[in-house]
């Protein structure tokens, strides 16, 4: 009897399990598909904008980039993925300026940490989300990000140049005059002996000047002629002693 009961019990459990499995399968039938049929859907595939596929220099509509060749990205990269070629150019006013001659980026060693882009002071770098970066040899993963020719910066007009140069000259002259005035003031000041024993102790600004003890005693004895006479006699004796010391 017991075995018949066990039979129907396990039959019920099996049917319940089957229904549960079929409900999961039915639910998945109605869920939108997330699997992409790549490369058939290459034209329509959606890659999230934040996906980091490859580092790029940002160029504006005229083909200018914002890199100032400071080298921060190269130093920030933990893998040595970035190698910059930096040279120097001369601007219209004769100043030397760093110039980006080449930006070598090895995609094969990049870990997409984005330290280079986040540390760039001019936001000259970004990541593209172009995920199709497969190549047959590793050397093809080394990319030249500065692939556009340089576009010269627009120079200021002749009047503007004159104004800038005049301002610079005036600033230089003012700095020179200030330095010379400082030098002259230092030369005119009395030479001070810096040794601690001979250093002149200047009273602190917030300290009240101390009253001479003799003047204090004279003031206290103002109404007492006998006391006054004693103090004056003591002062005379002290003066005589000091005069005697000076004559030795
Ligand atoms: S940190 Fe930015 S500005 Fe500096 S070298 Fe790199 S890309 Fe250029
Ligand atoms: S993302 Fe990271 S590893 Fe890649 S180049 Fe930038 S700093 Fe280097």
CATH number for position 128: 3.30.70.3270
Does residue 84 lie within any of the structural domains? yes
All residues at 6 or more sequence positions from 134 whose CB lies less than 8 Å from its CB, including other chains: none
Distance between Cα 129 and ligand 1 center (Å): 20
Question: Which residue's C-alpha comes closest to atom 2 of ligand 2?
Answer: 113
Does residue 1 lie within any of the structural domains? no
pLDDT (0 to 100) of residue 124: 97
Does residue 216 lie within any of the structural domains? no
Ligand 2 site, residue 113, Cβ cutoff 6 A: yes
Tell me the pTM. Answer: 0.61
Task: Give the nearest ligand 2 atom to 111 CA.
Answer: 3
The tens-digit pLDDT sequence of the chain (248 residues) is 568 889 999 999 999 999 999 999 999 888 888 888 888 998 888 899 999 999 999 999 999 999 999 999 999 999 999 999 999 999 988 899 999 999 999 999 999 999 999 999 999 999 999 999 999 999 999 999 999 999 988 888 888 888 998 899 899 999 999 999 999 999 888 655 445 544 445 555 444 455 566 667 667 766 677 777 777 777 777 777 777 776 55
Task: Give the nearest ligand 2 atom to 114 CA.
Answer: 1
Does residue 111 lie within any of the structural domains? yes
Does residue 7 lie within any of the structural domains? no
Question: Which residue's C-alpha comes closest to atom 4 of ligand 2?
Answer: 110
Which of 58, 67, 103 has the most ligand 1 atoms within 8 A of CB, as the residue to mutate? 67
pLDDT (0 to 100) of residue 205: 47
How many CA atoms within 13 Å lie on the side-chain side of 160?
5
Q: Give me the phi and psi of 127, to 5 degrees please.
A: -110, 130
Which of 53, 112, 120 has the most ligand 2 atoms within 8 A of CB, as the residue to mutate? 112
pLDDT (0 to 100) of residue 212: 64
Distance between Cα 89 and ligand 1 center (Å): 17
With CA atoms as reference, report the closest residue to 77 among 20, 119, 116: 116
Which ligand sits nearest to residue 55's alpha carbon?
A: 2
| R_g over Cα of the chain | 45
Spell out the alpha helix ranges (H) of 62-157: 72-76, 115-119
Ligand 2 site, residue 145, Cβ cutoff 6 A: no
Q: How far apart are CA 76 and CA 74, in angstroms?
A: 6
Q: How far apart are CA 65 and CA 58, in angstroms?
A: 6
Pairing of strands 125-128, 54-57: antiparallel
Ligand 1 site, residue 82, Cβ cutoff 6 A: no
Does residue 236 lie within any of the structural domains? no
Does residue 118 lie within any of the structural domains? yes
**Structure-block tokens of residue 81:** 């993925």
Ligand 2 site, residue 142, Cβ cutoff 6 A: no
Does residue 133 lie within any of the structural domains? yes
Question: Domain range spanning residue 68?
Answer: 54-144
pLDDT (0 to 100) of residue 233: 76
User: How many structural domains are present in the chain?
Assistant: 1
Ligand 2 site, residue 120, Cβ cutoff 6 A: no
Q: How far apart are CA 161 and CA 156, in angstroms?
A: 6
């Amino acid at each position: 009897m017991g075995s018949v009961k066990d039979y129907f019990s396990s039959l019920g459990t099996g049917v319940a399990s089957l229904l549960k499995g079929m409900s999961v399968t039915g639910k998945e039938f109605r869920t939108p598909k997330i699997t992409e049929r790549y490369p058939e859907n290459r034209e329509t595939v959606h890659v999230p904008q934040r996906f980091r596929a490859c580092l790029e220099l940002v160029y504006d509509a005229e083909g200018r980039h914002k890199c100032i060749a400071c080298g921060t990205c190269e130093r920030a990269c933990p893998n040595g993925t970035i190698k910059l070629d930096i040279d120097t150019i001369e601007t219209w006013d004769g100043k030397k300026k760093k110039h980006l001659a080449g930006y070598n980026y090895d995609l094969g060693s990049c870990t997409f940490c984005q330290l280079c882009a986040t540390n760039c002071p001019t936001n000259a770098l970004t990541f593209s989300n172009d995920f199709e970066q497969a190549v047959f040899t590793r050397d093809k993963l080394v990319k030249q990000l500065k692939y556009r020719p340089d576009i010269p910066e627009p120079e200021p007009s002749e009047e503007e140049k004159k104004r800038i140069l005049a301002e610079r000259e005036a600033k230089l002259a003012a700095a020179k005059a200030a330095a010379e005035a400082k030098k002259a003031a230092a030369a005119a000041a009395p030479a001070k002996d810096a040794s601690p024993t001979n250093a002149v102790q200047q009273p602190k600004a917030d300290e009240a000047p101390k009253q001479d003890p003799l003047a204090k005693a004279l003031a206290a004895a103002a109404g007492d002629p006998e006391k006054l006479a004693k103090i004056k006699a003591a002062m005379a004796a002290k003066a005589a002693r000091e005069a005697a010391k000076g004559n030795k």
